[in-house]
């Protein structure tokens, strides 16, 4: 997979995962990016703490997304095709990425600003699950900017929105 898309997806996954946690908007009940969680994870995952946080928040968010959207031939930010998941996992091992993304998860407003800056402008009012496009569009960065815009709107308006890709409506 091309690097700009992979980098974008990694940052988007971490920021949306952070914002959806209990201490921010409470879309899922995890706290992997909270100060207390970091203190707990540091001794156990000394060199891979960021990776552990990402894996934890991904599972928590994927569970909620799957409950709202469904499973099958449906993909979303927290459950992608296997090759994309493997590429993301490899990228999340990068200390440079961890350092870059961590600055977006220092507080809620910084994370929201990241989403707003990275999102495409959309005029949408739908809530809940929102089909973005067919699964063939998963590797199109412009489609992920729309996903970002939907999440940004959801968090700013405090309404749950779950963008996804599927071949059938």
Name 133's bridge partners. Answer: 165
Inter-residue contact 120 to 145 (CB < 8 Å):
yes
Q: Report the distance separating Cα 161 and Cα 166, nearest Å.
A: 16
Summarize pLDDT for 111-137 with one digit per residue, the tens: 999 999 998 888 878 899 999 999 999
Summarize pLDDT for 18-58 with one digit per residue, the tens: 999 999 999 999 887 776 666 665 655 556 678 888 899 99
pLDDT at res. 108: 94
């Amino acid at each position: 997979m091309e690097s700009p898309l992979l980098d974008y997806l990694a940052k988007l996954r971490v920021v949306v995962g952070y914002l959806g946690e209990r201490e921010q908007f409470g879309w899922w009940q995890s706290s992997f990016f909270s100060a207390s969680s970091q203190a707990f994870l540091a001794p156990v995952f000394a060199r891979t703490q960021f990776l552990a946080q990402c894996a934890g928040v991904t599972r928590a968010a994927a569970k909620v997304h799957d409950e709202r959207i469904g499973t099958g031939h449906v993909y979303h930010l927290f459950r992608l095709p296997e090759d994309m998941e493997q590429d993301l996992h490899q990228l999340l091992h990068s200390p440079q990425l961890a350092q870059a993304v961590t600055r977006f998860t220092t507080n809620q407003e910084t994370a929201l600003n990241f989403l707003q800056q990275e999102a495409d402008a959309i005029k949408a009012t739908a809530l809940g699950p929102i089909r973005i496009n067919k699964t063939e569009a998963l590797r199109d960065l412009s489609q992920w900017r729309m996903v970002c815009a939907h999440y940004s709107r959801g968090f700013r308006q405090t309404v749950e929105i779950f963008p996804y890709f599927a071949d059938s409506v």
